[in-house]
Amino acid sequence: MVSLGMKLPPPHVRAWYSYAFAAEVYSACGLAIFLPITLEQLAREVGYYAPELVERCVISADSSVSDGVEKVCKAHILGVWVDTASFSMYTKSIAVAIQAICIISVGPLADSPHWRKRLLLTFAYGGSLSAVIFLLFPPTPSTLLPALAALLFIVGNTAYATSVVCNNAFLPILAKEDEDVQQVYQQSRRHGRAAYDTDVSSDRENNAYSRASLDEEARNLLPGVLIPAVRAISTTDLAESDPAQISKTPISPSSRTHYETLLSLTTSRLSSTGTALGFLSGVSVLTLLLIPVLLLEGSTFALRLAIGLSGIWWAIFTIPSWRGLPGGGGDGTSKEDRAIGRAGGLKDAWKRIGRMISPREIRKLPNLYGFLLAWMFLSDGFHTTTYSAILFASSVLSMSAAKIILIGILVQLSAVISSIFVPKIQRHLSEKAEREDRKPITNFKVLLYAVVAGAMIPLYTCVGLILPFGGLRTEGEMYVLAVWFGLVFGPFLSYSRAVYTELIPPGHESTFFSLFAFTDKSASFIGPAAVGLIADLTGNLRYGFIFLLIMLSVPIPLLLGVSVRKGNEQARIWSEGKASDTIVSTGIREGEDEDEEARTERQGLLAAS
């Protein structure tokens, strides 16, 4: 609870927090739980059991199993017969691919003060509307409804992701409005560093994933013990760095370094608190939605009602952001600023990504890019495992919607618990190892353990293809695996960012974390498409877990080839090289400016004479 007399955040910050509180409900409830099973269920309502395709599919316990054999339900959608579970996977794959394109393309627009808030509201209300439309579906099954639901899923998924990009673009502005940051900035002006604000804004403009830090405001709004754990598992926070990153940047008494450090810490504190608020709203609403789902016995209408309510929540709690966030309208925004994001701006965004993944950069930072390659497999594998498990519980185990909600809650809460206690265990074991003159437990080792533990889930599911018992055949096993996955998933996300942080060139965190987010999304459409195709061809979703086992096993040798120590040294050298280039180019520009001033002065003297 918020204590009386506590210091509330400024109005702009409260408005920014409100959007995290609004949008994360749609992500945690709609995208993660209800939309996957709604797509599958809508398709099942118009489907027929293969291979005869004459017996209508039914939605009830044990309906998918006959004489110990799993029955495959296929629906005729857009002229093609498709496995109902595969249909949901294909939709997810298309949604993620479009989302990746939009995230990159919207970057230049989100950087513009004129467009930032307009885009946020457009995507927010476009996404919430796509969820509310589910309430208007007719009760009678139709072959058009699965296709319409898939379209709404794609729109909502894309709108949510791009709105988060726009929302994160406010972070540098909000951080610079902080009283302490303003005070340090004024001190830097008095020391002749007034121009530094422009330099920082160009380097830090999109740094929504900077170093982790908490202050009194965050602790007043939320239980302090939850914030580091929540930050690790929230879908809003794609790539937040680790507190250890602070030690990479040497602290000097200069006002410039002090300003940079404080700005980064303030940005991170805002990000952490907003992420935690979003997580708590998502889990709380997900728990409350158990009530209508139970009362309506998990019917398709109950699922559509849950999606619609999450969209209404999204729309209502976006209103404070609409009213409170700074906007670009009527404030003297230049024509050039309004023109940002046209063909040239979008082209530059893609060129920037191309330069970052060029062979030249890869040769300079082989360990960093080696880790990114492993991360592409791992991110796709873990997220596809989540999606596949939800569909497996619904279509193969015939678990009710209420039970699937419980699975989602178990995963989230287990991730929180592991994110709190794993760092403490690591610290205890490392201190013990140092006392015994042994190597400490590094972040890299913890990540490797998490990857191996995560691979056990598809491995165990594949056992069901060989043995007549075990291998995820019962609801009890699904609950156990949900807890196991949550215990693994929290540390996986947080420690993957921690390891990546150690490989980033100092002073270029924003640039490389944007690349981290890009690699996360650019390949994440492959897993759902591949699992869906395998399930479609074999008639058994369980075979898709063989692909997931490969996806989580291939990165292990790739990770073993990464040296964090060498990567850290390569990052330092790369950063120093960039700094030298900047100094040289700045000197050239200053020389050009001086020549221009001299020419102007001479022209003025000639005119006067």
Partnered with residue 77 across adjacent β-strands are 80
Q: Measuring CA to CA, which residue among 322, 359, 469, 493 is closest to residue 416? A: 493
Give me 197's structure tokens.
């604000």
- Of 235-244, 543-552, 585-594, give the lowest mean pLDDT range: 235-244
Average pLDDT over residues 437-444: 84
> For residue 409, what are the contacts with CB-CB under 8 A and spacing of at least 6?
283, 286, 287
Whether residue 482 is predicted with pLDDT greater than 90 in this model: the reply is yes
Give the model's pLDDT for residue 457. Answer: 94
Whether residue 113 is predicted with pLDDT greater than 70 in this model: the reply is yes
Give the model's pLDDT for residue 223. Answer: 60
Average pLDDT over residues 286-291: 89
Residues in the chain: 609
Q: CA 256, CA 569: separation in Å to the nearest integer? A: 24
Give the model's pLDDT for residue 597. Answer: 43
Whether residue 476 is predicted with pLDDT greater than 90 in this model: the reply is yes
Q: CA 100, CA 92: separation in Å to the nearest integer? A: 12
Confidence label for 202 from pLDDT (cuts 50, 70 and 90) = very low
Percent pLDDT > 70 in the chain is 72
Give the model's pLDDT for residue 256. Answer: 52
Q: CA 200, CA 284: separation in Å to the nearest integer? A: 38
Return the CATH fold of 8-61+71-192+249-328: Growth Hormone; Chain: A; (1.20.1250)
Contact 267, 208 (CB under 8 A): yes
Whether residue 534 is predicted with pLDDT greater than 80 in this model: the reply is yes
Confidence label for 299 from pLDDT (cuts 50, 70 and 90) = confident
For every residue of 554-594, DSSP letters joined together read: THHHHHHT--HHHHHHHHHHHHHHHHHHHHHHHHHHHHHHH
- Of 239-248, 289-298, 305-314, 368-377, give the lowest mean pLDDT range: 239-248
Q: Read off the pLDDT of residues 585-603 as tens digits, 9 standing for 90 and up.
A: 555 554 544 454 444 444 4
Give the model's pLDDT for residue 252. Answer: 41
Place of tokens 């919207």: 106
Whether residue 271 is predicted with pLDDT greater than 50 in this model: the reply is yes
User: Residue 428, exposed/middle/buried by CB under 10 A (0-12, 13-18, 19+)?
Assistant: exposed
Average pLDDT over residues 8-19: 85
Q: What ranges do the domains of the chain cover?
A: 8-61+71-192+249-328, 364-608
Q: CA 569, CA 70: separation in Å to the nearest integer? A: 54
Give the model's pLDDT for residue 575. Answer: 82
| Average pLDDT score, the chain | 77
User: Considering the entire predicted model, what is its pTM?
Assistant: 0.75
Give the model's pLDDT for residue 212. Answer: 34
Confirm whether 8-61+71-192+249-328 and 364-608 share one CATH topology.
yes
Q: CA 223, CA 276: separation in Å to the nearest integer? A: 9
**CA distances (Å), 129 to each of 21, 31, 124, 316, in order?**
17, 14, 9, 12
Give the model's pLDDT for residue 401. Answer: 84
Q: Read off the pLDDT of residues 31-57 as tens digits, 9 standing for 90 and up.
A: 888 999 899 899 999 999 888 888 888
Q: CA 497, CA 446: separation in Å to the nearest integer? A: 12
Give me 94's structure tokens.
């298309």
Whether residue 555 is predicted with pLDDT greater than 70 in this model: the reply is yes
Q: What is the CATH class of 364-608?
A: mainly alpha
Confidence label for 123 from pLDDT (cuts 50, 70 and 90) = very high
Whether residue 467 is predicted with pLDDT greater than 90 in this model: the reply is no
